[in-house]
Amino acid sequence: MIDRCLSLLLSEGTSGKRTRSTRTALAALVSCVALQATISSEAIEAALVINLDFTNFSTGAPANGDPILGGGTVADAQSVIQTAASIWEQAFANSSSSIGWSTNVGGTLTQTIAVEWAPLSGSTLATGGTGWFSSDGRWSSGTLTWDNDGSSDFFVDATPTESSEWNKVSTRDLSFNGIAMNADRTSYDAAAGVARSNSDMLTVAIHEIGHALGFFDTFPAFAASDLGSDGDVDITGGPFTNAEIVYAGGHTTFQMLSPAGGDFPYDPGGGSFFPPANYYPNVMGSSILTGTRKRLTETDIAIVGQFLQFDMNHVDFDPQPVPEPSSLAVLALGSAALLGSRARQRRRDRKRRLRTGQA
Ligand SMILES: [Ca+2]
Ligand SMILES: [Ca+2]
Ligand SMILES: [Ca+2]
Ligand SMILES: [Zn+2]
């Protein structure tokens, strides 16, 4: 199937004139790409598909080796962001969503996120958001924008599916309305180097993709998940039924004491950082400590699963990073979704747009 798509593309590209057969070939290519996307989705049993659009990712990107990239490369950064998306997908890979959106086909939700660079003010490392269609509240395309004005420095992990750069992991629970939930999967105490002195790009990417999935209080589906509109998301299904998780704006608000030992986020002896008394332990808290990595916790996943109405009995609350199926499949998925996205944008100009959040 992939070979056939490629050959159609090549024959179209080498044709001098737009003949009838060329148009037929082009139409076949589009449907072929769409079919390919379906096949890929089924292969990984995905109920959440995140298409990252890197079309403009090179524009404004720091040069390879720039301090913003922690000395890494733009290609490494792209790989880190793809890994972040795959972790979110993995959480819901074996579940299905019952949300009543016209685009929810067979319980699978698909979101396309444009990834780009721009100067961001203050301490903002990146922003993530989505617009939505006022007719039924569903997603329009999302955005993920990285700070490139020199005030943010990232650790771009060349091996983003493992966290051997850190020596310790804090894994702890908190009680939410009497329901114990994991709220902390923080790696800390990194060896000297960019992982210790910079902000972990994988963590920031997971956080911002959370926003692009609708994690902010003005997104209709999120707002509806707060029963009583009293500042907590109410979990109504699965192992954490009856949990109530506090939030404000686009972030959870619960904090946790730093792990004991004086080496959080790493041994401050001689360093310029100091361990705070408490911190936001989960990914969707409002800030990240330099020198730490956060994995998705049960709290982050439960909130997203709740407002996107996934079957919470089949959610993976401890998703592990997995490699993307193949770069070719990812590219095909991206182009298929991009075509649809642009068409929808032309048709609908009452789209509301919101950007929110900072890591
Ligand atoms: Ca900045
Ligand atoms: Ca690593
Ligand atoms: Ca509530
Ligand atoms: Zn945020």
Q: Which range, of 17-21, 211-215, 291-295, averages the lowest pLDDT? A: 17-21
Is 78 in contact with 97 (CB distance < 8 Å)? no
In this structure, the answer to whether residues 212 and 308 fall within a common structural domain is yes
Query: Dihedral angle at the C-alpha atoms of 282, 286, 290, 292, nearest 10 degrees?
Result: 10
Residue 128: nearest ligand to its CA? 4
Section 280-307 average pLDDT: 96
User: In this structure, are strands 166-176 and 179-190 parallel, antiparallel, or unpaired?
Assistant: antiparallel
CA of 352 to the centre of ligand 3 (A): 25
Q: What is the pLDDT of residue 59?
A: 96
User: Residue 35 sits in which domain range?
Assistant: 1-43
- What average pLDDT score do residues 8-32 get? 31
190-210 pLDDT per residue, tens: 988 999 999 999 999 999 999
- Same domain, residue pair 81 and 137: yes
Residues 118 and 138: their CA atoms lie apart, in Å, by: 26
Q: How far, in Å, is the centroid of ligand 2 from the Cα of 195?
A: 9
- Indicate if 157 and 238 belong to the same structural domain: yes
Question: Quick one: which ligand is closest to 246's CA?
Answer: 3
Q: What is the pLDDT of residue 344?
A: 35
Same domain, 193 and 287: yes
CA of 253 to the centre of ligand 3 (A): 14
The domain tally of the chain equals 2
Do residue 143 and residue 164 come from a single domain? yes
Query: What was the pLDDT predicted at 37?
Result: 36
Distance from the CA of 266 to the center of ligand 2, in angstroms?
Answer: 17
Kindly state whether residues 168 and 88 are assigned to the same domain: yes
- Tell me, in angstroms, the distance from the centre of ligand 2 to residue 160's CA: 5
Mind listing the pLDDT tens digit for each residue in 102-158?
Answer: 889 999 999 999 999 999 999 999 999 999 998 889 998 999 999 999 999 999 999
| CA angle (86 as vertex; 218, 66 as ends), nearest 5 | 90
Tell me what pLDDT residue 135 has: 85
Instruction: Based on the fold, state whether residues 10 and 159 are members of the same structural domain.
Output: no
- The reply to whether 271 and 149 lie within a common domain is yes
CA of 161 from ligand 2 middle (Å) equals: 6
pLDDT for 260 beyond 60:
yes
106 near 46, Cβ under 8 Å? no
Q: How many Cβ atoms are within 10 Å of 56's Cβ, its own excluded?
A: 14
Q: Give yes or no for a contact between 316 and 91, defined as CB atoms under 8 angstroms apart.
A: yes
Grade residue 43 by pLDDT with cuts at 50, 70 and 90.
very low
| 51-86 residue pLDDT tens | 999 999 999 999 999 999 999 999 999 999 999 999
Long-range contacts of 223-229 (CB under 8 A, 24+ apart): 224/307, 225/303, 225/306, 225/307
If asked whether residues 21 and 119 sit together in one domain, one would say no
